[in-house]
Structure 1
Amino acid sequence: MIHYPASPSGARLKAAVCQFEIAVGDVDKNVSTGLAAAENACKSGAQLVVLPELWSCGYDGEKIAAHARKTPEITGFLSGLAKAYDAVIAGSLPEEANGRVYNTMFVINTTGPVAGAYRKIHLFPLLNEDKWFAPGRQSVILNCHGIPAGCMICYDLRFAEMGVHLAAGGARMIVVCAQWPAVRIDHWDALLMARAIENQIFVVAANRCGADADSGFNGHSRIIAPDGAILADAGQIPAHVCAELDFSIIDNLRTRFCPVAQRVPAAYPPA
């Protein structure tokens, strides 16, 4: 049996997901678009704002390291927004560190600086992502207005055991940023709901929309409740949507029945 702590008394959070078109390689345009989207969400009262994966540049192959060198300036812009609106802002950007480049979700907290970062563990083989990025080696749970939030980036969503690990570590929601293509959008919809239901946890997920030279993207950014209910859906065009997360719902669900605490990992160890 696993013990899961209750949420802080009366804990609520207004979350927003933003989706927009990403112009591959055009950092100035994307940053302008992304900052405007984040600010509009903040003006809607969002305390947590989630942006898509690699929102500053897209998957720009050989130029990704050059784009990564602009990331500190971009996180500085986000810090200004977070501080101005008392919001937490999360999204994936290329990060250069120790001579390597990572696909990293930066989480900017309400006092302005980077509160933490998660480097994408599972690199997507169909995009040859491992050619341009080094893999992260550790899952991450960060503080979001006092609520523990686990982090996932796109392909990570297919790994159920990662969601289990985050929930077991105390996460009350999973924040996801992605560039999930339209051709497999039914998988996106199903996996978001599955991660929420199986872990009795909120899922706050931002995907991009639009198209690049290789793929089309049709959004479906969503906020999912611990019982699988869709609290907000951004549809297929540039937009942001918000929902209020009432974390007492998790505790009420787990009081009635609690599969997340009744797992028997010794009976089905990793292969």
Structure 2
Amino acid sequence: MKKFKVSLLQLDVKFGDPEANYSNVEKYIEEAVQDKPDVLVLPEMWNTGYDLERLETIADKDGQRTKTLLTRLAKHFAVNIVGGSVATKEDGKFYNTSYIFDRKGQLISQYQKVHLFGLMSEDDFISAGSTLNQFIIDGIKAAGVICYDIRFPEWERKLMSTGQQILFVSAQWPTKRIEQWKMLLCARAIENQSFVVAVNRVGNAPKDSFNGHSLVIDPLGKILEEGATDVEGIFTCEFDLDDLKAVRGNIPVFDDRRTDLYF
């Protein structure tokens, strides 16, 4: 048996207030490590929220503040951190950026969101990335995406097609579409025969509300853990990665693909 424990930090994000958000993230990480998880997972755009019109003054330049904080905490507590995502400014452009750290505090992957969400005007302010987010934590192959990315199954298939066992998702997914969040994530788990670990924020922004429902889903689409509605907090779940062997052995979808016809 290969047990793996994840802690989902389902947080409120204060609109346009990096000081409050960095302080809150540090507090919750210090609390979450008491459960001795293998990995901590944060939500999307947790440093600024979607206060996009003020990114010039509140975005994290080159991600330095975020990297400094999460490097220190990952190393101090010897825990892997899937750092959700933050608003960054790099070379005069703004990005929705995810950073992944191992137990030694080393940055092992970074990713700029590739699918920008027009309904929240993301594409008016933020530039799209163009790279894969694949990484190895504790010897486990994994991948990560951000929010709107989950509506593009071809993107997840590409990410998961080289043996990835866990898909991490960080989001600010509005309350009014939360049922779609659940269905899409269960579908991504089933079709990729992988565990899905997905963290959504709670709280309110000027134009949207968010009600959590952070999820851990097994390769058959069963929900193993669901964060309580509207509650800021830590939700921890342990699962057995060996379960993947039976699922993938019985229905080898990756082997059965017709790559002569499609990817």
TM class by shorter chain equals: over 0.9
Work out the CA distance in 2 between the residues paired with 1:63 and 1:261.
47
The one-letter code matched in structure 2 to 1:86 is A
Does structure 1 residue 219 correspond to structure 2 residue 212? yes
1:19 alignment counterpart: 10
1:170 alignment counterpart: 163
Query: What count of residue pairs does the alignment treat as equivalent?
Result: 260
Shift of 1:11: 3.5
CA contact (8 A) 2:60 2:66 kept: no
2:73 alignment counterpart: 81
Matches for 1:42-121 after TM superposition, within 5 Å? 42-69=33-60, 71-90=63-82, 91-121=84-114
User: Highest relative contact order (Cα 8 Å, sep 6+), 1 or 2?
Assistant: 1
Q: 1:29 aligns with which of 20, 24, 27?
A: 20
* Inter-CA distance 19–266: structure 2 relative to 1 (3 Å threshold): same
Matches for 1:89-238 after TM superposition, within 5 Å? 89-90=81-82, 91-236=84-229, 237-238=231-232
Shift of 1:259: 2.0
1:6 alignment counterpart: none
How many percent identity over aligned positions? 35
Give the TM-score of the pair, scaled to structure 2. Answer: 0.94
Cα deviations across residues 16-35 of structure 1 (Å, max 9, x unaligned)? 11112111111111111122
Work out the CA distance in 2 between the residues paired with 1:168 and 1:261.
10
Work out the CA distance in 2 between the residues paired with 1:113 and 1:95.
19
User: Which aligned runs of 4 or more in structure 1 are off by greater than 4 angstroms?
Assistant: none
2:255 alignment counterpart: 261
Coordinate RMSD, CA, aligned: 1.5
**Residue ranges of structure 2 left out of the alignment (5+ in a row):** none
The one-letter code matched in structure 2 to 1:220 is H
Work out the CA distance in 1 between the residues paired with 2:158 and 2:258.
13
CA contact (8 A) 1:24 1:59 kept: yes
Cα deviations across residues 190-221 of structure 1 (Å, max 9, x unaligned)? 01111001110010111000111101100000
Cα deviations across residues 171-193 of structure 1 (Å, max 9, x unaligned)? 11111000000000000010111
Shift of 1:136: 0.6
Give the TM-score of the pair, scaled to structure 1. Answer: 0.91
Shift of 1:261: 2.5
CA contact (8 A) 2:60 2:86 kept: no
The one-letter code matched in structure 2 to 1:18 is L
Work out the CA distance in 1 between the residues paired with 2:89 and 2:142.
24
Work out the CA distance in 1 between the residues paired with 2:66 and 2:110.
14
Shift of 1:165: 0.9
Between stretches 255-264 and 21-30, larger displacement belongs to 255-264
Q: Secondary structure at the match of 2:49?
A: coil
Shift of 1:147: 0.9
Work out the CA distance in 1 between the residues paired with 2:171 and 2:259.
29
CA contact (8 A) 1:38 1:51 kept: no
Work out the CA distance in 1 between the residues paired with 2:239 and 2:257.
25
Q: Secondary structure at the match of 2:225?
A: strand
The one-letter code matched in structure 2 to 1:56 is N
Between stretches 141-150 and 49-58, larger displacement belongs to 141-150
Between stretches 10-19 and 23-32, larger displacement belongs to 10-19
2:233 alignment counterpart: 239
